[in-house]
Amino acid sequence: MTEANGLAWLAGYRKHAGSLLLMAVGLGFTAGILLIIQASLLSRVVTQVVFAGQGLSQVLPHIWLILALVGGRALLVGGGRYCGGLAAVRVKEAVRRDLLDHLAAASPVGLTGGGAPGELVDLSVDGSEFLDGYFSGYLPQMAMAVLMPAAILAFIFPLDLVAALILLFTAPLIPFFMVIIGRRAERLNRRFWNQTTRLSHRFLDTIQGLTTLKIFNAGHREARVVAEISRQYGQSTLAVLRVAFLSALALEFLATISVALVAVIIGFKLLWGDLTFAAGFLILILAPEFYLPLRNLGSNFHARAAAITTAEKMLRLLRLPLREQHEATGHDLPAPASGPGSYQITLAGVSYGYEAGREAVRDLSITLPTRGLCCLYGPSGSGKSTVLKLIGGLLKPQRGKILINGSDLGRVELSQWHRQLAYLPQKPHLLQRSVRENIKIGNPEATMAEIRRAAVGARIDRELAELPAGYDTLLGEEGQDLSGGQRQRVALARVLVSSRPLVLLDEPTAGLDQASSELVRQTIVELARSRTVVMVTHDHLFLPLADKVIRLDEGIYSTA
């Protein structure tokens, strides 16, 4: 990922700011023009009072005009900052929306490799905040750094050529040093972001693993590790701030030296009589204002570095693969082969590999029963879960076809196919909601009677009835109030209440005790009497109960 990619991605979001950025620049530039007029009036007033001996009554109209210009400039500058801030808000909203939409559309397979949960949270919630300074400060100031010096230079050139040339040739020094310091700031921002992500990951892991840490009496050791990472995070934060302050100091120093040089030249010209006081005083007033937009740009350069670092992180997230896109969309799912919800699923010469030259599944040709239990059995890494993902449409075969009642799944609208599937992963996720709401995920329209029937079918109804609030008991994170077997059976109840004809199960008894495994087996066997159940398993006790067993070993299959 290069800086150019990050800048190109950021440029794509300017359209969301659009006219607001132009208004911010326009208002700021208008305020700058008023500043030139104000400086001209101030120079005239001072000259009239000091050299012409005019009194207050004679210069009072000019003073009132100067005060009006000050008020007008304040309103214009405030309006410009408001427009810049509003532009940044709109960009941040668009970025968050795009990130969340992409996460929602991302393939579940790709999402698991998209980074740790802590990093996803940081990027989707807080990451866009790092773009604020870029759009509200850096971009408007970059335009002002071109427009205002040019306007002031055009005004000074007719007054004094030497002073104008000094300003012209010293002006590039500020951007030059700004870029040099900015490169260092970019490296520090990358390190700062990595420290932020690392601290977020570690803290989340520590909270989730508190029980394990307590059991192994490792709490104090882990606390020291988190404290050390926090210290490094603090150092990274201070390093970024140090560079920001030093860069501002360096730019101020350059601007001060340049203004001093102009002042010396103006002084000598006044001494020699080559320049009027009014012109010299006006140049001295405008000289600091000439460098001000350049200094402000330098002060905002760290916002550019932070935005580029954030953009690179977000681009990696936005490049997560989406759900497999089929060759054609809009084809309806074929009618059931025999009776409602009965689908003949055939894998014809299907091959799929995650790496070139190494196929997880090779030339798999099988037909699944329209009813009953089909077990995918074999050692770890033999391609069982890959077959499950292929059947579910999460992966697209690299060779061969998957046929649904004779129609190529690659030409069927995936959303229709997914409405026929229920999926139970090895470690089902239970939300921090009531038991009833967790089961209703399988069917949002399910009645309480249907939920109870599903719980009875999953052999979990009695245990749920004994909970403090029954089905309305709120669960902790990851269902921590339930045992592993109970969590698995609540997830099975979610599958049962869905009434979907095809059920995909990924090692449903893994990690369960013997009693819980037996209850899960009974539920699955009963479920297979009315639906097609395709299950990945290492549990040999399922094999005698299965209607079909597919043994996989390094992509090679055999059936029984």
DSSP 359: -
Q: For residue 193, what are its two tokens?
A: 């972001």
Angle value at C-alpha 341, between 339 and 347, nearest 5 degrees: 105
Lowest mean pLDDT among 93-107, 185-199, 299-313: 185-199
Query: Per mean pLDDT, which of 24-33, 275-284, 461-470 is the most reliable?
Result: 24-33
Looking at residue 396, its pLDDT comes to 83
When the pLDDT of each residue in the chain is averaged and rounded to a whole number, the result is: 82
Class of the domain covering 3-318? mainly alpha
Three-class SS of residue 81? Answer: helix
Lowest mean pLDDT among 79-83, 124-128, 140-144, 314-318: 124-128
From-to residues of CATH 3.40.50.300 in the chain: 345-559
Lowest mean pLDDT among 129-138, 160-169, 303-312, 489-498: 303-312
Answer whether 314's CB lies under 8 Å from 95's CB: yes
From-to residues of CATH 1.20.1560.10 in the chain: 3-318
Looking at residue 147, its pLDDT comes to 94
Lowest mean pLDDT among 282-291, 338-347, 406-415, 463-472: 338-347
Strand partners, 364: 350
Q: Which position has the higher pLDDT, 22 or 214?
A: 22
Q: How far apart are the first and last CA of the chain?
A: 49
User: H or E segment at 403?
Assistant: strand 399-404
- Residue 327: pLDDT band (50, 70, 90) is very low
Residue 254 has phi, psi (to 5 degrees) of -60, -45
pLDDT tens figures, 533-547: 999 888 888 888 888
Answer whether 36's CB lies under 8 Å from 152's CB: yes
Tell me the chain's radius of gyration from C-alpha atoms. 35
pLDDT-above-90 percentage for the chain: 15
Q: List the one residue out of 1, 310, 303, 2 whose CA is nearest residue 127.
A: 310
Q: Considering the entire predicted model, what is its pTM?
A: 0.68
- Residue 64: pLDDT band (50, 70, 90) is very high
Quote the CATH superfamily of domain 345-559. P-loop containing nucleotide triphosphate hydrolases (3.40.50.300)
One-letter amino acid at 341 equals G
- The CA distance from 28 to 357, in Å, is 60
Residues 13-29: what's their mean pLDDT? 90
Burial of 105 (0-12, 13-18, 19+ CB in 10 A): exposed
Residue 51 has phi, psi (to 5 degrees) of -105, -25
Angle value at C-alpha 57, between 52 and 63, nearest 5 degrees: 85
Distance of CA 348 to the CA centre of its chain: 39
Q: What is the dihedral of CA 29, 32, 33, 36, to 10 degrees?
A: -160
Lowest mean pLDDT among 193-207, 211-225, 305-319: 193-207
Strand partners, 532: 372, 502
Looking at residue 335, its pLDDT comes to 59
Residues 6+ away with beta carbon under 8 Å from 85: 136
What DSSP letter does each residue of 418-469 carry, written as one string?
HTTEEEE-SS----SSBHHHHHHTT-TT--HHHHHHHHHHTT-HHHHHTSTT
Answer whether 263's CB lies under 8 Å from 163's CB: no
Lowest mean pLDDT among 41-55, 255-269, 298-312: 298-312
pLDDT tens figures, 329-384: 456 666 555 554 567 888 888 888 877 667 778 888 888 888 888 888 888 877 88
Residues 186-201: what's their mean pLDDT? 71
Looking at residue 123, its pLDDT comes to 73
- The CA distance from 375 to 383, in Å, is 13
- The CA distance from 411 to 388, in Å, is 19
Three-class SS of residue 500? Answer: coil
- The CA distance from 163 to 150, in Å, is 14
- Residue 319: pLDDT band (50, 70, 90) is confident
Q: With 80 as the cut, is the pLDDT of residue 150 above it?
A: yes
Looking at residue 115, its pLDDT comes to 53
- The CA distance from 36 to 496, in Å, is 76
Angle value at C-alpha 319, between 318 and 322, nearest 5 degrees: 90
Q: With 60 as the cut, is the pLDDT of residue 201 above it?
A: yes
Q: Are strands 399-404 and 548-553 parallel, antiparallel or unpaired?
A: unpaired
Q: Exposed e or buried b for every residue in 520-529, given b needs 16+ CB within 10 A?
A: bbebbeebbe
Residue 363 has phi, psi (to 5 degrees) of 50, 50
Runs of H (alpha helix) within 300-375: 301-318
Looking at residue 2, its pLDDT comes to 65
Looking at residue 36, its pLDDT comes to 93
Residue 468 has phi, psi (to 5 degrees) of -50, -45
